[in-house]
Amino acid sequence: MKKTILLLVVFLLILPTAASADRGSIPYIPGVRIFEPSQDALIAWNGEEEILILSTELYASEATKILQVLPLPAEPEVKKSSRDVLRRANEFVIQKFFDNLRQPVFRSEISKTPAAEIKEEVVIGSHDILVVKVLNQDYFVSWVNNHLEEKGEKTPQISDSLKSTINNYINRGYNYFVFDTIEVSPDPEINEAISYKFKTDELYYPLEITKSDHGVSEISLLVLTNQNLINYGGIAKNRVNEKNPTVELNLFDVEYISSDIHDLFIKKNDDLLTYSSTIQLLNWSIKDDLANFNSDLLVDSKLEGLLKNEVIYQGTTFIDSQAEANYPYPSEKEMESISGVVEMRMGSRMHPWLAPSINGKALFNAHTNRIVNNFDAEGEKITVKGYSSKDGQITMRDPIDKMPVLINISDVFYVTEIVGWTPYTGIAISSDGKLNNERSRFWLKNK
């Protein structure tokens, strides 16, 4: 299978409450509130490895040390990064927008297996970082308490909610945790960007670790990929909002952002280099109370689960095809029925829209308020239910200045049901094997 290569540029807008959008926080002084007004992150994933770069702005109600906990699916390589990587990535966002632990550590002699092993310890600026592998789940939280005591915390407190979340990660096979000790003060300060590189067969961004915190956060995700994002194994896809149409970049753009990320896009095989010529840029957002993040962002590129509902419609293959659940569409309007032969109405040369019609009335979908499309019934006599309207509106681009304009279409009929037909939605596959980022609607005649 081709590697799924993607780059997420994440700009998290967090309200100034005691919240963290990627890591659980434990203050060394009980009762101190930690504030994280802004956080930037960048994720690059090639289907096998991920680079996660984090940089945060932090302050506290009083000066203290805090321990931030980051769960990972595999042992990471930790090194210093730079906020310039995020800045360079953001340049493309703005441009395109306006264009279009080494030693075993024992908790006690009661346990035959040590609770954790330190795989790596590194100091990067104000960050005192430990990479820890969990060896014994039963004693791991106690190991964390002991670690806090060794760092000078006399009465370490890990909330029951955070304990439960940590154990849930361990039960899911996440045996590596990064502990990052930093000092914070009442004055906001932007910390050094840290890069974590680790193996993973699915895109991963930790959210559940924050459920012990409180506050609404809005997470903006810019996703670069040359492959298809298929299965959302963590938070549901409908919680991820697509903010803008897809933009295409090339590999040279990515190299400008980061050479390490650029290298993830290249496959080395017998001294030959292969790479994708175009990379899609998606703009997503996730907004919720941190307490509602009961799972992480997990996405893979496996098609197998979607192929079972394959439909070929007018030469286009749709996968994961499903009949719309809310059909016939509900409406509070006074209903009527009309019958007649389906004919096509056309717009002007300046604005060449095309719509099916009955008795001269252009058919609009009462659910989407758009023209009924992918309805192959021209020349057939059908009956539709819904309501009439003097006009309907569609959005098109002006052929001269390319700006969006509203087009009025007179004499329309809003369809709540086409008798004997059912609307389906599916994911279209192009001739080169790429998937459409949005589901398409098409109408099939009932058998």
pLDDT of residue 342: 98
Shared-domain flag, residues 126 and 25: yes
pLDDT tens-digit map of 253-310: 888 988 888 888 786 544 555 565 677 777 777 788 777 888 999 999 888 777 778 8
- Kind plus residue range of the DSSP H or E element containing 176: strand 176-184
Work out the burial of residue 256: count CB atoms within 10 Å of its CB; fewer than 13 is exposed, 13-18 middle, 19 or more buried.
Answer: middle
CA of 359: how far to CAs of 23, 109, 411, in Å? 61, 86, 10
Give the three-state DSSP class for 264: helix
Shared-domain flag, residues 283 and 135: yes
CA of 338: how far to CAs of 89, 147, 151, 416, in Å? 54, 75, 78, 12
Shared-domain flag, residues 239 and 158: yes
CA of 177: how far to CAs of 67, 119, 320, in Å? 12, 10, 36
Beta strands in 208-263 (DSSP E): 216-225, 231-232, 241-249
Shared-domain flag, residues 292 and 346: no
pLDDT of residue 213: 58
Shared-domain flag, residues 284 and 402: no
pLDDT of residue 113: 56
pLDDT along the chain (447 residues), means of 10: 44 37 62 64 84 75 76 91 78 63 39 66 76 77 74 65 83 88 72 87 86 67 77 88 79 87 71 63 78 88 80 90 94 96 93 94 96 96 97 87 87 98 92 79 95
| Within a domain: 96 | yes
Nearest 5 degrees, angle CA 82-CA 86-CA 88? 105
pLDDT of residue 275: 61
Dihedral (Cα; 375, 376, 379, 381), 10-degree rounding: -60
| Within a domain: 1 | no
* Count of domains observed in the chain: 2
pLDDT of residue 1: 45
pLDDT of residue 183: 73
User: In b/e form, how buried is each residue of 59-76, taking b as 16+ CB within 10 angstroms?
Assistant: bbbeebbbbbbbbbbbbb
Shared-domain flag, residues 347 and 276: no
- Predicted TM-score of the model (pTM): 0.69
pLDDT of residue 3: 43
Residue pair 412/344 in contact (Cβ under 8 Å)? The answer is no
